[in-house]
Amino acid sequence: MTLSIDAQVATMPMAKALNAGLRQAMAENDKVLLMGEDIGKLGGVFRITEGLQAEFGEGRVLDTPLAESGIIGTAIGLAMRGYRPVCEIQFDGFIYPGFNQITSQLAKLTNRNEGSMQMPVVIRVPYGGHIGAIEHHQESPEAYFAHTAGLRSVSPSTPNDAYWMIQEAIASNDPVMFFEPKSRYWPKGEVDLSGSAASLHASRVVRTGTDATVVAHGAMVSVLLAAAELAAAEGISLEVVDLRSISPIDYTPILESVRKTGRLVVAQEAPGNVSVGSEIAATVAERAFYSLEAPVLRVSGFDVPFPPAKLEALYLPDADRILEAVDRALAY
């Protein structure tokens, strides 16, 4: 990590940015607790919590049993007592044993109590592919939770967003599903430590263009930017929108972009059936129909279980698949 003292801009990978964001939140509020499997002495499988137990103590950084339902159930109880627990689910595919606690209890308790009980719980979920792992370690389950009323769901794509968004999520009085694209843990980027947080649920144009709009969240944003570079070499101008939040979705930048370009391609690692991309495609078709020059096209993982590591490159959308969809849109 490199740091410019004058500007307070540091260059670090997303993993370090998340660590710094968690440290800042814990320093500012002693009600913030971290919970998860191997997050204490080990610092987590991806070292996101490295050094935090040594700094804040075992009472605030808790190594839990291998029991996702128990982790989340305990976090719910802590939230009832005024704490702000941050739970780590070690890998995306491990979240399902805790699914009932999240969807039946965590998401509903505030409504069940007519707003008198807040649930400031953050559930960190490393998700997605590109790491060559085995079954249950490369899934993209975000649609399950985006569909669930009572939960907020977000996913940063850059170290700067990771640093600020984890703090915003912890400050929220609602439960937040915080999806971390683990393939982006290691690439470095600038983090403005002295800046201010953008709205947790604001989508953002990260590259301007005129010919077509491409939209994604998490790790797929970097794929879209790579595709936009390749397209530019062929004289095609793509506008790239980073969702940042997948529930709620900030449609204003997307609709403004589509009304300008007339074409939209939505990309995601997750399977396409009944997905975040499906919802965006339907909403844009409803709200910007007369601006569209072509059907909204989706590029996604295939509707099959995530394959063995040696086949992941065939399963996950890449720049070529994005550009093929752009070509189809431009052909109308």
**pLDDT tens figures, 294-314:** 999 999 999 999 998 889 999
Instruction: Please indicate, yes or no, whether residues 209 and 187 belong to a single structural domain of this protein.
Output: no
User: Hey, is 36 helix, strand or coil?
Assistant: strand
Which residue type sits at 260?
K
Please check whether residue 199 lies inside any domain of the structure. no
Instruction: Please indicate, yes or no, whether residues 176 and 296 belong to a single structural domain of this protein.
Output: no
Please check whether residue 2 lies inside any domain of the structure. no
Average pLDDT value for residue range 34-61: 96
Q: Is the confidence at residue 281, as pLDDT, over 60?
A: yes
DSSP letters spanning 81-144: TT-EEEEE-SSGGG-GGGHHIIIIIITTHHHHTTTSS----EEEEEE-SSS---TTSS---HHH
Of residues 167 and 92, more confidently modeled: 167
β-partners of residue 205 are: 241
How big is the chain by its Cα radius of gyration, in Å? 20
Kindly report the pTM of this predicted structure. 0.95
pLDDT band at 25 (very low <50, low <70, confident <90, very high): very high
CATH of the domain at 313: 3.40.50.920
Please check whether residue 4 lies inside any domain of the structure. no
Contact residues for 70 (Cβ-Cβ < 8 A; gap 6+)? 64
Instruction: Please indicate, yes or no, whether residues 49 and 107 belong to a single structural domain of this protein.
Output: yes
DSSP 66: S
CATH of the domain at 146: 3.40.50.970
Of residues 52 and 92, more confidently modeled: 52
Percent of all residues in the chain with a pLDDT value above 90, rounded to a whole number = 90
Instruction: Please indicate, yes or no, whether residues 28 and 158 belong to a single structural domain of this protein.
Output: yes
10 Å Cβ neighbour count for 233?
Answer: 7
Catalytic residue among 130, 136, 137, 201: 137
Query: What pLDDT does 31 receive?
Result: 98
Q: How many domains does the chain have?
A: 2
Instruction: Compute φ and ψ for 210, nearest 5 degrees.
Output: -130, -20
The last residue of one of the domains, among 192, 218, 245, is 192
Host domain of residue 319:
204-331
* Of 246, 251, 226, nearest in space to 326 by CA: 226
Instruction: Please indicate, yes or no, whether residues 185 and 218 belong to a single structural domain of this protein.
Output: no
Mean pLDDT for the chain? Answer: 95
Please check whether residue 1 lies inside any domain of the structure. no
- List b or e across 25-59, with b for residues whose CB sees 16 or more CB atoms inside 10 angstroms: bbeeeebbbbbbbebbeebbbbebbbebbeebeee
Please check whether residue 5 lies inside any domain of the structure. no
pLDDT in tens, 107-134: 999 999 999 999 999 999 999 988 888 7
Instruction: Please indicate, yes or no, whether residues 174 and 38 belong to a single structural domain of this protein.
Output: yes
Instruction: Please indicate, yes or no, whether residues 45 and 172 belong to a single structural domain of this protein.
Output: yes
Please check whether residue 122 lies inside any domain of the structure. yes
Average pLDDT value for residue range 246-271: 97
Query: What pLDDT does 245 receive?
Result: 98
Instruction: Please indicate, yes or no, whether residues 283 and 138 belong to a single structural domain of this protein.
Output: no
Query: What pLDDT does 2 receive?
Result: 59
Query: 71-85, 86-100, 132-146: which has the minimum mean pLDDT?
Result: 132-146
Instruction: Please indicate, yes or no, whether residues 187 and 211 belong to a single structural domain of this protein.
Output: no
The last residue of one of the domains, among 171, 192, 213, is 192
Compute the distance between CA of residue 19 and CA of residue 15 in angstroms, rounded to an integer: 6
Q: Is the confidence at residue 3, as pLDDT, over 90?
A: no
Instruction: Please indicate, yes or no, whether residues 142 and 65 belong to a single structural domain of this protein.
Output: yes
Query: What pLDDT does 288 receive?
Result: 97
Query: What pLDDT does 58 receive?
Result: 96
The last residue of one of the domains, among 192, 217, 233, is 192
Catalytic annotation present for 136: no
